[in-house]
Amino acid sequence: MIWQTAGPSAAFSSFVVGKLGGQRQLIGYDKESLGGWDVKTGKRLWSHVPKKNNDFNVPTPIIVGDKLVLSTENNGTRLHEFDARGRILSEPLATHRELIPDAHTPLAVNGRLFGVSNGLFCLDLANNLRELWTSDDEAFSHYTTLIGSRDRVLVATEQGELILFDSAADKFVPLSRLKLSENDSGIFSHPALVGSQLFIRSSTSLVCLPLA
């Protein structure tokens, strides 16, 4: 063991590692707050408690350059900066109050943030989370997972549908849609991309799809 750090009860999201404010750190949630820890020593560097309490803290924080994106169901989606000592600034640089996911993690790709909360949102990361477009397609009314490349986003919906669209487009236009099953009771696991194959686990089966 290199180090062990005591703390409050755990939350549900994953941790991320990055260099913010000149400090390489591990960032993640406990039950009540967000924190940053020195990756070498385990020392807690800072804590951040949002204005509204009782978030489930399921979506994973997203590092975008030298900033951090947070999305939760009670506090919306926020873009935070850091000071020169690697501590988060408590007041967000920008907030989008309608993108409020309680379980899935939004996707940052191509300078944009994509997320689902009773609809699909596309926000501009370079312009204070300005809303570029939304879609009220029925597929985005429930849980989804998102994966992306420089110019494509692939959505796997709870209802077992895969939807591919252009991440740079000025509106939501599906390039391809595929229904995996008509009888599946839900897809909640994140797809795994291995080479040119996509693996998806549903409630009843494991599916492997060729992408090339």
Which residue, among 27, 99, 102, 29, has the nearest Cα to 63 in the 3D structure?
A: 27
pTM of the predicted protein model? 0.94
Name the band, by pLDDT with cuts 50, 70 and 90, for residue 25.
very high
Across the chain, what does the average pLDDT equal?
94
Each domain of the chain, given as residue ranges in start order, spans: 16-185
SS3 at position 140: helix
Which homologous superfamily does the CATH classification assign to the domain defined by 16-185? YVTN repeat-like/Quinoprotein amine dehydrogenase (2.130.10.10)
Spatial contact of 75 and 53, defined as CB atoms under 8 Å apart: no
Alpha-carbon span 113 to 130, nearest angstrom: 10
Average pLDDT over residues 62-80: 98
Q: Looking at residues 157-168, what average pLDDT do you find?
A: 94
Q: What is the pLDDT of residue 186?
A: 78
Tell me 201's DSSP state: E
Residues 6+ positions from 83 with CB-CB distance below 8 Å: 21, 89
Confidence of residue 211 (pLDDT cuts 50, 70, 90): confident
Q: d(Cα 123, Cα 202) in Å, to the nearest integer?
A: 29
Summarize the confidence of residues 57-66 as an average pLDDT: 98
Write the pLDDT tens digit of every residue in 127-161: 999 999 999 999 999 999 999 998 999 999 998 89
Q: Which residues contact 57 (CB under 8 A, 6 or more apart)?
A: 11, 12, 13, 29, 30, 31, 34, 72
Q: Judge contact between 76 and 100, C-beta under 8 A.
A: yes
Is it the case that residue 184 has pLDDT exceeding 70? no
